[in-house]
Structure 1
Amino acid sequence: MAVGSSPRAVVADDSHFMRSVISDILEEGGIDVVGVAKNGHEAVEAVAETDPDVVTMDVEMPEMNGIEATDRIMSTRPTPILMLSAHTDENADVTFQALEKGAVDFFRKPGGEVSMEMSRLQDQLVEIVRSVAAVDPTDSSDVASARTAGSGVATDADAGVDTDRPADAATADTETYVDDPTVVIGSSTGGPTVVEQVLSDLPLAADLRVLVVQHMPSGFTGRFAERLDARSEYTVREAEDGARIGGGEALIAAGDYHMEVQGYRRGRLRVGLTQDPPVNNVRPAVDVTMETAADVVDDPLAGVILTGMGEDGARGIRAIHDAGGFTVAQDEATSAVFGMPKRAIETGCVDGVAPVNDVAAAILDAFEVT
C-alpha cells in the first residue's frame, strides 16, 4: 500500500447484512471496499481479481470457511487478513488456527443488536483495518529466519542488544539464573503468535513468573491461555481475580479486565482484576500491569513490548526502568505493527531492541547470574 493512500479492502462474510454494515463502516472511514464475498471461494477470487491491501474475513462461511480461505490466499497471493470472529469457543479455536495460517489479527464480531453495536465499534474497526493493511504479509519468512542462518549465533548490535549466545540457549537447562525473576509481556496487533513464540523459547529452568497482557476481547483469552499452556514448558492460565503464581507459571490478562499486581510475598505474585475505565483506549492495558508490577515487585523484573498498534506499554516500560528493571522491545523488522515498540523505544527507557527470535534470549541474558 502506498504511503498516504487509502487502503483497498475486500469484505468476506456469508451474511449480506453484515457485508453491507462492514462495507459502509469502512467506506465511511476512508477505506475503499473494492470487493465483497459471501464464502471463502469468492474471497480467494476477489483477492486475485482486485489485489486489495487488506481482507476482512468471516470465520464461518459455506463452501470454504475463513481458515481455508486464509490458507489459500496466503499461499497464492499473500495479503494482510483481519479475521472477524463471533464470540463462541468454536470460533475462537478456528480464529487462532487462522492466525497460524498467516492472518494478522482478529476483531470480535458484535452480537445482539448488531447494527447498533457495530456502529459503536466503528472507530476501532477502521483503526485496526488500517493497521492490518499496512502489514507486509511477505515478512513472515523473515521473522522465522531472523536468527543468523547456519551460524548458531545471532547479534543485533545495531539495535543495542547483544544476543551473542548459542542458538539453543533459550532452551538450555544448564544456565544459572537469579532468584525470583518476573517478566511482564505486552502486545497487540500481530501479537498472539509472537507471544507464543517468546513464551515457548523461555526454559522452565529459568523459573520465571510471567504476566502477559495481549489486547484481546473477552471470550478469547481463555483459549489463548490454553494454547500457550500446550505450547510452552510453563503452566499457563487465564487470570482470575486473586490469582497467585510462582516460578514456572504464567497468567494471561482476561479480556475486558485490567490485571493489576496487588501483592508479592515469598516469591509469589497475586493479581487482581478490575473493570476500571480503559487506559490508552484499551482494557486490559499493558501500562496497568507494568506500572503495578514496578510498584510491588522488589525482585528482578523485566518488561517486554512486542508488536502492536498504539502507545500502550510506554508508561509501563518507563516505570519498570525507573524501578531498576530490564526492558526490551521487539524490533521494527519483525513487528507486524511497530506502534507499541516504537513508542516504548522513544521513552529512552528501553535497554535493548531485538528481533522476535532473540527476545527470549535477551530476557535470559538479563536474568543470568554472572
Structure 2
Amino acid sequence: MDSFRVVVVDDSALFRTMLRNLLAEIPHCEVVASVADGKTAIDKITELRPDLVTLDVEMPDVSGIDVLRELKRRRVSAKVVMISRWTTAGAQVTTDALIEGAFDFILKPSSGDPVANKAALRAALEERISAVRETAPAENAANTDQTTSTPHPAVRVKAVVIGCSTGGPDALARVIPDLPANLPAPVFIVQHMPEGFTASLASRLNQASELEVLEAEDGLRVRPGQVVLARGDRHLELSHRAGDSVLVKLSEAPREHRCRPAVDFTLRSAVELYEGHLLAVILTGMGRDGTAGCELVHSRGGRVLAQHATGCTVYGMPKAVIQAGVADQIVELPRVAKAIERMLAIR
C-alpha cells in the first residue's frame, strides 16, 4: 500500500508533536510537513498536495477557515479535517468550515487523563483516514442519475427523513436552500454530530433557506414546511399526540452504529407514524447507518433516494443502501432537492 501523506497544522508545538507521534503509529502514514501558522500551511499544502490535512480551527492571523477558503480559491483539492475545541465559538467556526467543504472534524481531547486523550485522538485519526480511503468506485463516477428497474408505485409522501454523516453539512447546504418555501411536508435531518455542534448547523441552514430550519427540541410540534435537525448526542424520535399532531422526542437510548443521533433510529419511528407515506434520503457518509431503516421504509411501500457516487465525500452510506437493493432513485447531489420536490408533488 502506498504511503498516506499528512500535513499537520497547529499553532501549539505540544499538540503538533502529539499528532505527529500518533500518526507515526498508524500503518502506512507519513507526516510530510508540520507547520505552526496558516500562511505557511497554505504554501505547504499547495506544494505537497497531501492525502490529508489536520487543520487547527483557531489560529492567530490566518485562521483555519481562512486556510480552507484560500485552498478553495486556489483550487487545491485536499481532504481537510478540522481540529476543534468543544466551545460555542469553536462549534460555529467548525460548522462554517464543514459547509465550506472540510472533510470532517475532530474534537481536541478534554479529559484529564493523558493516556485516554491520546487513545481517543488516535482512534479519531484512524477513523478519518479510513474514511478518506473509502472513495467512490471509479467505474461509477461516469454514471448518470438512475431509477431502479422495479420502483414502487407512486405514493403520497407526508414526511422526509434525510440521513448523512461525513461530508453531510456541505451536502445539506446544497440541498436544503434549494427546497421551496411551500414544501407540503416536514423534513427531518439526522446528521452525525456531537452535542453542541448541531445548533450552529441549524442556524447556518436557516439563514440560507426559505424554509424554517431548527434544532430538534423535546415536545416540538411539527408542521409542514419545517426542517428539524436532530440534536447532537440525542436520537430524534417522532410520536403522535392529540389529533394528527406529530411531536419530536429527544431520546438517550443507546448508540446505534456508534452514533447518537442515528438515522436508523429516526427512520423506525417515522415508519411507525407515516407507514408507506415516507421518503428516506441518504446522502454522503461513512458506514451503514440508514440501510436497515431504508429497508423498512421500502418494505412498507415508502420511497428511498440515495446520493450518486459522483460528488459523495464518502460513498459508504448511500452505497450500502444501493447495494441492499432498496433505492428507488440514485441522484447526483445538485439534483437531490428537485427529486425531493417531485416526489412531494404526488397526490
TM-score under structure 1 length normalisation: 0.83
- 1:228: how far off? 1.3
Find 1:310's aligned residue among 265, 287, 292.
Answer: 287
SS of structure 1 residue aligned to 2:161: strand
1:45 aligns with 2:22: no
Find 1:181's aligned residue among 151, 158, 171.
Answer: 158
Alignment of 1:1-370 (within 5 A): 4-30=1-27, 31-76=29-74, 77-113=76-112, 115=114, 116-132=116-132, 156=144, 159-160=146-147, 181-263=158-240, 266-298=243-275, 300-369=277-346
Unaligned segments of structure 1, at least 5 residues: 137-142, 147-154, 163-176
Counterpart contact for 1:13–1:39, Cα < 8 Å: yes
- 1:93: how far off? 2.1
**Cα separation, 1, equivalents of 2:34 and 2:113:** 19
- 1:267: how far off? 4.5
**Cα separation, 1, equivalents of 2:135 and 2:70:** 18
Comparing 334-343 and 92-101, the one that deviates more: 92-101
Counterpart residue identity of residue 195, structure 1: L
Task: String of CA shifts for 1:52-74, please: whole Å, max 9, x gaps.
Answer: 11101001112311011112223
Task: String of CA shifts for 1:284-339, please: whole Å, max 9, x gaps.
Answer: 11110011111222472100000011111101111111122111000000211100
- 1:265: how far off? 5.9
Match of 1:139 in 2: none
Counterpart contact for 1:55–1:79, Cα < 8 Å: yes
**Cα separation, 1, equivalents of 2:35 and 2:321:** 39
Counterpart contact for 2:10–2:56, Cα < 8 Å: yes
- 1:109: how far off? 2.1
Counterpart contact for 2:135–2:315, Cα < 8 Å: no
- 1:156: how far off? 4.3
- 1:134: how far off? 5.8
**Cα separation, 1, equivalents of 2:221 and 2:173:** 21
Comparing 206-215 and 74-83, the one that deviates more: 74-83
Counterpart contact for 1:7–1:133, Cα < 8 Å: no
Amino-acid identity (%)? 37
Counterpart contact for 1:82–1:129, Cα < 8 Å: no
Unaligned segments of structure 2, at least 5 residues: none
TM-score under structure 2 length normalisation: 0.89
Counterpart contact for 2:58–2:64, Cα < 8 Å: yes
SS of structure 1 residue aligned to 2:182: helix
* Compared CA separation, residues 196 and 72, structure 1 to 2 (3 A): closer
* Compared CA separation, residues 15 and 132, structure 1 to 2 (3 A): same
Counterpart contact for 1:178–1:368, Cα < 8 Å: no
Match of 1:140 in 2: none
**Cα separation, 1, equivalents of 2:109 and 2:22:** 13
Counterpart residue identity of residue 11, structure 1: V
SS of structure 1 residue aligned to 2:46: helix
**Cα separation, 2, equivalents of 1:94 and 1:190:** 16
Counterpart contact for 2:101–2:170, Cα < 8 Å: no
Count of residues in correspondence between the two structures: 336
* Compared CA separation, residues 271 and 237, structure 1 to 2 (3 A): same
Counterpart contact for 2:49–2:77, Cα < 8 Å: no
**Cα separation, 1, equivalents of 2:37 and 2:102:** 17
Counterpart residue identity of residue 95, structure 1: T
- 1:226: how far off? 0.9
SS of structure 2 residue aligned to 1:348: coil
**Cα separation, 2, equivalents of 1:128 and 1:296:** 35
* Compared CA separation, residues 13 and 114, structure 1 to 2 (3 A): farther
* Compared CA separation, residues 100 and 297, structure 1 to 2 (3 A): closer
**Cα separation, 1, equivalents of 2:327 and 2:241:** 25
- 1:350: how far off? 0.9
- 1:348: how far off? 0.9
Counterpart contact for 2:10–2:55, Cα < 8 Å: yes
Counterpart residue identity of residue 327, structure 2: V
